């Protein structure tokens, strides 16, 4: 079964850091682009970042550029999102996603909640 | 960045109704338009990709159409399980992948 499982969310104060992880199984992780998308409480979906299969191409949304770092470990089949200098507006559920066989987000993790509050 | 605008933001319908949701792109995106369904507390699920191709396992009462800048998602004979929030997303000019603001479909 193709599966993505996020972890690492939690409650942090503004300015602090958090690292999210996404464990992949059921597919050849090293062949696929991986993305992070977030959803603030009661709001819509917002793309955050992406990384290509070998990690040589990385992109970020303007809102997180310079603060967030996406990375991957293909040997461990794990995607990461290092989030620094967190702000209240980063509060959201963060989803790990990939595209397998189609040019659309067809594989989603269950999401992990990040709350930034003092 | 390409902006995606959905209408309406919400609508009420009854089981058995036919509903249509519209998604407009700020510039042409060819057919690179995807539709997702999201239920409360759950991750979104892909329904339709490339504007009109039904994703594996999605019931045939869902259909998509359109090209260029205007697209529609139609649900025929609404079932209780269809009451959810629907999002469109363009995959033509990325990054960033941009989503519509969502359409909440509620039971009348």
> pLDDT tens digits for B1-53?
999 999 999 999 999 999 999 999 999 999 999 999 999 999 999 999 999 99
**CB–CB contact A95 B43 (8 Å):** yes
> pLDDT tens digits for B78-96?
999 999 999 999 999 899 9
| Chain B contact present for A61, CB below 8 A | yes
pLDDT for residue A18: 98
CB-CB neighbors (< 8 A) of B6 in chain A: none
How long, in residues, is chain B? 108
CB-CB neighbors (< 8 A) of B94 in chain A: 50
For A117, other C-beta atoms within 10 Å of its C-beta total: 10
| Chain A contact present for B104, CB below 8 A | no
Both structure tokens of B103: 């359409």
Nearest chain B residue to A95 by CA: give it: B43
pLDDT for residue A96: 98
CB-CB neighbors (< 8 A) of B101 in chain A: 44
**CB–CB contact B49 A106 (8 Å):** yes
What confidence category does residue A107 fall into, taking pLDDT thresholds of 50, 70 and 90?
very high
**CB–CB contact A45 B55 (8 Å):** no
Burial call A5-29: b when 16+ CB within 10 Å, e when fewer: ebebbeebeeeeebebbbbbeebeb
| Chain B contact present for A109, CB below 8 A | yes
CB-CB neighbors (< 8 A) of A61 in chain B: 95-96
Average pLDDT over all residues of chain A: 97
**CB–CB contact A47 B34 (8 Å):** no
pLDDT for residue A2: 95
| Chain B contact present for A5, CB below 8 A | no
pLDDT for residue A86: 98
DSSP-based helix, strand, coil % in chain A, nearest 5 = 5, 50, 45
Q: How much is the average pLDDT of A34-40?
A: 98
Contacts of B40 by beta carbon, 8 Å cutoff, 6+ apart: none
What confidence category does residue A4 fall into, taking pLDDT thresholds of 50, 70 and 90?
very high
């Amino acid at each position: 079964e193709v599966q993505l499982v996020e972890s690492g969310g939690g409650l942090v104060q503004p300015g602090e850091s958090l690292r999210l992880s996404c464990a992949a199984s059921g597919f050849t992780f090293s062949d696929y682009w991986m993305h992070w998308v977030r959803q603030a409480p009661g709001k819509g979906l917002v793309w955050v970042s992406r990384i290509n299969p070998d990690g040589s191409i990385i992109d970020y949304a303007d809102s997180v550029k310079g603060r967030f770092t996406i990375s991957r470990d293909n040997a461990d089949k794990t995607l990461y999102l290092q989030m620094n200098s967190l702000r209240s507006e980063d509060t959201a559920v963060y989803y790990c996603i990939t595209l397998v066989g189609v040019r659309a987000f067809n594989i989603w993790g269950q999401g992990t909640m990040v709350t930034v509050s003092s | 960045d390409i902006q995606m605008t959905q209408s309406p933001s919400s609508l009420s319908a009854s089981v058995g109704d036919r509903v249509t949701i519209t998604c407009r792109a700020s510039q042409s995106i060819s057919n690179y338009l995807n539709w997702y369904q999201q239920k409360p507390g759950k991750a979104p699920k892909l329904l339709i990709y490339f504007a009109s191709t039904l994703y594996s396992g999605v019931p045939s009462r869902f259909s998509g159409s359109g090209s260029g800048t205007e697209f529609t998602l139609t649900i025929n004979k609404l079932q209780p399980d269809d009451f959810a929030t629907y999002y469109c997303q363009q995959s033509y000019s990325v990054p960033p992948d941009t989503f519509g603001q969502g359409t909440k479909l509620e039971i009348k």
